[in-house]
Amino acid sequence: MVEVYKMGKTKIKICGLKRPEDIGIVNRLKPDFVGFVFAERKVDKEQARKLCEALDPEIPAVGVFVNETIQNVTELCREKIIQIVQLHGDEDAYYIEEIRKNLPDIPLIKAVRVQSKEQ
């Protein structure tokens, strides 16, 4: 399991990687995490797989999803393409519980949008 947070240390994630050149840069810079945006098909499974093959194995890959199917998220983790799940859509408690059941050892981040002052 990836340790996502250590008290007192800021963590850095470079997100939106799509090209081999991006991997070369992050392998040199050594951020704490890298992000692959699967939302709006910025990157697909095979593209992410190829990029991860070139990624330094000490840099965990985060999959960024918006309303993705549970099956696709689960497959990407089980095939070791990503090591952390980050959700940015309308995923509800049921969805999150299913992901946790399918992937009990995978860290999960749920982004929450503030939509008005009242919320």
Share above pLDDT 90 across residues of the chain, in percent, rounded to a whole number: 82
Q: Determine the pLDDT at residue 94.
A: 97
Q: Determine the pLDDT at residue 1.
A: 41
Structure tokens at 27: 């392998």
Instruction: Identify the CA nearest to 37 among candidates 75, 2, 78, 88.
Output: 88
Q: Which residue has the tokens 């919320």?
A: 119
Mean pLDDT, the chain, integer? 91
User: Alpha-carbon distance 54 to 67, whole Å?
Assistant: 28
- pLDDT tens digits along 68-117: 999 999 999 999 999 999 999 999 999 999 999 999 999 999 998 787 77
> What is the CB-side half-sphere exposure of residue 34 using CA atoms within 13 A?
27
User: Alpha-carbon distance 97 to 103, whole Å?
Assistant: 10
Is 63 a residue whose pLDDT tops 70?
yes
